[in-house]
Amino acid sequence: MKNIFICILTTLTLLACTTKQARLEDECLYSDSKTQFCFWSPIAEQMELRIYADAQTTEAETYALRKDKNDFWHTTVKGDLAGKFYTIRSCQNGKWEEEAPGIFAKAVSVNGTRAAIIDLSKTNPDGWVQDKRPAMTDPTDIIVYETHLRDFTMSPNSGIQNKGKFLALAETGTTTADGLASGIDHLKELGITHLQILPMFDYGSIDETTLSHGKYNWGYDPINYNAPEGGYSTDPYDPACRITEAKQMIQALHQAGIRVIMDVVYNHTYNVAGCALGRVVPQYFYRLNADSSYANGSGCGNETASDHEMMRQFLVESVCYWAREYHVDGFRFDLMGIHDQETMRQIRAALDLIDPTILTYGEGWAAMSPAYPYDSLAMKQWTYRMPRVGAFSDDIRNALIGSPFDHLRGFASGNPAGKQALCFGLAGGINYNNNQFGEGWSGEPMQHVSYITCHDNYCLRDRIEVSAPEETEETRLRMNKLAQTAVLVSQGMTFIYGGEELYRTKLGIDNSYQSPDSINTIPWENKLIYNDLYEYYRQMVQIRRQHRGFRLGTAELVNKHLEFLPTDNESFVAFKMKDLKGIDTAKSLIVLLNGSSEPIDTDIPAGKYAVLAQDGKADAKGLTTVSTDKITVAPYSATILAEK
Ligand code: CA
């Protein structure tokens, strides 16, 4: 018994040493005279490194690896290996697994089947050393814009040369066919602060050898977590090319004052058998069911095990690697509810050491039930336990436009059922006024990601069309503006799905993950055709950015300054941001949201107001000035008043 106890203690000590001493990211340390390799496996009986002269040859030089006391397997190969490729193989119970790149391959061959040995320092574009994250003095400034590299650029009217590539977002001075700003310049003009890019790590659903076929995929199917996707590079056969071009994109966005958020999908891998995580240490990185089958909280056939020590370390090291090597400014965690809370806290702590302004948020849910205690998972409900990690608010989304699980209208399209949840979301998901609108789940309002649409489900135009088909387009445009206005005046962190400002449609397809470009691409011609809508969005972004009252940043301030005005109309929400002296240029702000088909007359506190938005028009400088204590709010519209 005593021996077993000592044995357990020794194992625990070793584990502790492992996490402190070794880094998974050091699996291939290149210099021009030698390359050092190290890979972790606690269960392998033997491990073997194979070095290939190129990506195709089947002939390899094989090296046996030796294990250290921390379960890392090492070897050093002399000579200059730049341009060569490697894989590893592990042997358990006398059986050799199939070869795979290491789990921390930073450069890979076409389709990511082999890891590449390169000099990373040579992948830096000119001026990379001077590259800096754009200043972010006030975290409440954040307005996130989500896009996919193809959605944003493939349109023949985008005016962008390198369509569908990292380099598309390194182009400046581009214009639509009508001569209006497109690409990066469009983002600057719109006024967003952060660009969230759909998966850009190496994923499996696009064959990089047939890119000319123009196949589309969102990319939620990770192969190599720490190398960029080859399909977005101009030469997927050159392992350095995708790295350099991803950096060029980030550099150009930084120069435009825009921060870059990576959509990371650590919750599952493309498959188990074909991925390094599944091959190198079989089963360890995944959660298993009682019968040893793979658990499937992701709905994609497997779920990773962030609660396992080295999977947790992998996540922490991986995000830090992207933050340091690529200067990535934030991470959006796909199905974050599959990860455990402790892992998210450790990720936050590790990123804080690099730069505390790096953003972290994710989907506080899973696709199916994860094989881990719910109470310990990073679910939305427990967001307050993970300071400065945010979660998407399906509360405000469903309240405003309806749930993705039905086609009902939402508050903005004439269904008052969501009024309570809308007020909850406007307050940023906190414990507001003793949980007046429901139990708060965000500790601070910026942890509540206010949004109505993202790549998942219908885009806004389609959602309103399927839920209010009998309405005219004019009315549906009013609903569109009203819904997005509510997001932009909420105390949460604002998130806009790219292309909504250009009235994008996916022709009624609510899951376009592999639909062609014709469905997914943003219609740049709409910048002129629906210019009224675009200008409204742009002005609303400005209104948010100019009025600190809409983004007070702490639950304490929200409770102090946010007051909902009494109304007995279920389709009407009225609130006041009061006593803003020292916080905002306005003494107070009044927001009136009419989700009905009738105009609503309402009393307001008597005063002199700049009208920032009214009847489907918005102007950050003010549409007009009124001195009044009564106002009429037009059907399906928002009125925003700034007290002078
Ligand atoms: Ca790929």
Strand-pair category, 85-92 with 66-67: unpaired
Averaged pLDDT for residues 35-59? 97
Question: In this model, does residue 347 exceed pLDDT 80?
Answer: yes
Residue bearing the bigger pLDDT, 12 or 148: 148
Q: Give tens-digit pLDDT for 534-580.
A: 999 999 999 999 999 999 999 999 999 999 999 999 999 999 999 99
Q: Please give the C-alpha separations between residue 379 and each of 265, 340, 351, in angstroms, as whole numbers.
A: 16, 8, 20
pTM, whole model, 2 decimals? Answer: 0.96
**Average pLDDT estimate for 455-476:** 98
Q: Exactly one of 25, 245, 329, 363 is catalytic; name it.
A: 363
Cα–Cα distance measured from residue 593 to residue 425, given in angstroms and rounded to the nearest whole number = 14
Compute the chain's Rg from CA coordinates. Answer: 26
Q: Is the pLDDT of residue 16 over 70?
A: no
CB count in 10 Å sphere of residue 548: 21
Average pLDDT over the chain reads 96
Name the active-site residue from 263, 334, 462, 471. 334
Q: Where would I find the H helices in 109-226?
A: 149-153, 183-190
Contact 500, 460 (CB under 8 A): yes
CA angle 522, 526, 530 (to 5 degrees): 135
User: Can you tell me the distance from the alpha carbon of 241 to that of 229, in angstroms, rounded to the nearest whole number?
Assistant: 11
Give the domain 562-643 fold.
Answer: Immunoglobulin-like (2.60.40)
Q: What is the pLDDT of residue 21?
A: 60
Q: How far away, in angstroms, is 207 Cα from ligand 1 center?
A: 7
Share of the chain above pLDDT 90, in %: 96
Q: How far is the CA of 233 from the centre of ligand 1 (A)?
A: 10
Q: Is the pLDDT of residue 213 over 70?
A: yes
Band of pLDDT at residue 22, cut at 50, 70 and 90: confident
C-alpha of residue 322 to centroid of ligand 1, in Å: 17
Instruction: Find out whether 443 and 387 touch, Cβ atoms under 8 Å.
Output: yes
How many angstroms does the Cα of residue 108 sit away from the middle of ligand 1?
A: 9
**Is 444 part of the annotated catalytic residue set?**
no
What pLDDT shows up at residue 8? 47
Instruction: Name every residue whose Cβ is closer than 8 Å to that of residue 40 and which is 6 or more positions away in sequence.
Output: 18, 22, 24, 71, 72, 73, 103, 281, 310
Task: Give me the residue spans of the domains in the chain.
Answer: 23-123, 562-643
**Confidence check: pLDDT of 359 > 80:** yes
Q: What is the pLDDT of residues 261-287, one digit of tens each?
A: 999 999 999 999 999 999 999 999 999
What is the length of the chain? 644
**Mean per-residue pLDDT for 407-431?**
98
Å from CA of 516 to ligand 1 middle: 18
* pLDDT range class, residue 582, cuts 50, 70, 90: very high
Of residues 569, 591, 583, 566, the one with CA closest to residue 436: 566
Note the pLDDT tens digit of each residue in 483-508: 999 999 999 999 999 999 999 999 99
Average of per-residue pLDDT across 12-24: 56
Checking if the pLDDT of 13 tops 90, the result is: no
Return the CATH architecture of domain 23-123: Sandwich (2.60)
Please tell me the predicted confidence (pLDDT) of residue 137.
86
Nearest CA among 523, 524, 590 for reference residue 561: 590
* pLDDT over 70 (residue 349): yes
| Per-residue pLDDT, 12 | 46
Let me know if the fold of 23-123 is the same as that of 562-643.
Answer: yes
Give the span between the Cα atoms of 452 and 426, in whole angstroms: 12
Assigned token pair, 122: 């040579």
The residues pairing with 457 across neighbouring beta strands, listed in sequence order, are none
Active site annotation includes 185: no
In the block, tokens 């507001």 appear at: 432
Centre of ligand 1 to C-alpha 219, Å, is 9
Spatial neighbors of 494 by CB under 8 A, at least 6 apart, are 142, 143, 144, 450, 451, 487, 488, 544
